[in-house]
Structure 1
Amino acid sequence: MFDSIVAYLSSIDPILAALYATLFTWFLTALGASVVFFFKTMNRAVLDGMLGFTGGVMVAASYWSLLAPAIEMSEGEGFIKVMPAAIGFILGAFFLFGLDKLLPHIHINFKETEGVKSPWQKTTLLVLAITLHNIPEGLAVGVLFGGVAAGIPEASIAGATILAIGIGIQNFPEGIAVSMPLRRMGMSRKKSFLYGQSSALVEPIAGVLGAVAVTFFTPILPYALAFAAGAMIFVVVEEVIPETQQDKHTDIATLGFIGGFVVMMSLDVALGS
């Protein structure tokens, strides 16, 4: 199955492949959001475990799918070789830091509003918060496919596909994490679903933009990969992990994190070898 997917994506334009891959990650977000049609509430322990899983996938993907290839494809030795990855990582973190301070959004617990003050409703602010998560995820997939289009040996369709699968898996609980709180607030099932899936619509946009940018500016690929990694790690440390520590289910969240990390690591090493 995996080989067939890779073969098909290898046969089409890499930028189109990036679009298809990020549409897949959006679809799994929508699939997660659709759970709201069957349940009105979700046990907090389950939600914390799923969010922990999301964080584990993002951290593992940041290293095996992004930072390691960025370092490998950089020229030079010692500090010279690691500098593109270090610079890109810092820029990615500061990019999300800036968006976090400027873009109004609210956390899943509906208690912490961040960014500039806004008259927008809490539902809109929550969708914006999850949208922040999805920008680096779509970008990460896109720049890998862009590397393939640019003919970079270290970039492969298989590696980009594995990353898309991993991001898609962790997008399923993200869809739930948006739609369920909205439903609990009294919003209709249909509206809760529409808001939940819309948070990932930015992924195909970011994916295509990332692929096109790398195609036209090939030397930026190691910087772009590390940029996406830095942005993802910022999201995990600043928002995903703290969110799982709000209640009494911290151990479940931690085990979820470990599980997500192992799943993404195993996918990358087993299927990418």
Structure 2
Amino acid sequence: MALLTVFLLACVTALATGLGALPVAWLGPARTERWRPLLWGIAAGVMTAASIGLVVEPIDKGQWVPLIVGGVIGVAFLLIGQRAMAGREMHVGNLSGVHVRRSALVFVVLFVHSLPEGFALGSSWSVDSTIGLFVFVAITLQNVPEGTATAIPMAQAGFSASQQFWAAVGTSLPQPVGAVIAFLLVEQITALLPWSLGFAAGAMLALVVLELLPDAIGPRENRPLAATGIIGSMLAMAALAMLLGA
């Protein structure tokens, strides 16, 4: 029964990611283009804050070696992905171009980063269901802005609202899988967690620096909007973290 509960809760966290795509779908293509610097700034801020959140616990526990090694591997993963996609015309249906490529990179990085979050939910629930419930609430709330970050490049690329929603949900599908595995193999997964958290954080930060920030900042006249998006989203994520930590 406990295993089924963990699985269902992790499914809820995945669906919560889809909620974050709804505001982007509501804006529509014209308004999305008009507010592009702000939206890219929001995506960059959300992913930067999320990557910082991933490394807090390993740092508190002094798990520097797995965290740093995992982070380096995560950066390498993003660089290899970038190089593999460079110069290739990516097509999804009748859509193509740089925003399709960037949508794919954002999807892959957020998809990968969801697995350690699933690990955290499953392992915490196996130890104490009260702590597990707290972790569930934290991941669910944090998944919503990550869904927004998934939808922004997809809106730029011309994907439909339903595609944005289901892609956002899809980025979190590793969470139910990771939660079940961690619940059953808590000791082994606990040892693996700092490595996987470092990997996810490294990949996300590399994505922000190499892909999201250049498009957010762009020409000089875009920078006030981009800065507003970056700072505002990071402050919102920090406030959420403080609220959950209270």
Letter in 2 for 1:20: V
Question: 1:159, 1:93 → 2: CA distance?
Answer: 26
Partner residue of 1:220 out of 184, 187, 192 = 192
Native 8 Å contact 2:150 2:168 kept in 1: no
Question: 2:49, 2:66 → 1: CA distance?
Answer: 20
Question: 1:118, 1:180 → 2: CA distance?
Answer: 16
Percent identity, please: 21
Q: Deviations over 1:208-263 (max 9, x none)?
A: 34334544332101222222211211221111111102243112111211111111
Q: Which moved more, 1:250-259 or 1:54-63?
A: 54-63
Partner residue of 2:26 out of 23, 27, 35 = 35
Assess, with a 3 A threshold, how the Cα gap between structure 1 residues 101 and 13 changes in structure 2: closer, same or farther: farther
Native 8 Å contact 2:20 2:145 kept in 1: yes
Question: 1:150, 1:192 → 2: CA distance?
Answer: 39
Native 8 Å contact 2:18 2:169 kept in 1: yes
Give me the TM-score of the superposition, normalised by structure 2.
Answer: 0.79
Offset at 1:148?
Answer: 1.3
Q: Deviations over 1:98-143 (max 9, x none)?
A: 23333x3xxxxxxxxx26x356357256142442343244235323
| Residue 120, structure 1, aligned to residue 88, structure 2 | no
Partner residue of 1:178 out of 149, 154, 165 = 154
Assess, with a 3 A threshold, how the Cα gap between structure 1 residues 58 and 119 changes in structure 2: closer, same or farther: closer
Native 8 Å contact 1:179 1:195 kept in 2: no
Q: Any gaps of 5 or more consecutive residues in structure 2?
A: none
Give 1:77's aligned residue.
none
Question: 1:87, 1:47 → 2: CA distance?
Answer: 34
| Residue 169, structure 1, aligned to residue 161, structure 2 | no
Give 1:203's aligned residue.
171
Partner residue of 2:82 out of 90, 100, 106 = 100
Offset at 1:170?
Answer: 4.2
Offset at 1:91?
Answer: 2.0
Partner residue of 1:48 out of 30, 37, 40 = 37
Give 1:186's aligned residue.
none
Give 1:229's aligned residue.
201
Please identify runs of 4+ aligned residues in structure 1 that moved more than 4 A. Answer: none
Letter in 1 for 2:160: S
SS in 2 for 1:231: helix
Assess, with a 3 A threshold, how the Cα gap between structure 1 residues 236 and 40 changes in structure 2: closer, same or farther: closer
Question: 1:177, 1:119 → 2: CA distance?
Answer: 14
Give 1:261's aligned residue.
234
Question: 2:79, 2:218 → 1: CA distance?
Answer: 22
Question: 2:95, 2:113 → 1: CA distance?
Answer: 22
Structure having the larger proportion of residues in helix: 2
Offset at 1:25?
Answer: 0.5
- How many correspondences in the alignment? 234
- Give the superposed CA RMSD: 3.1
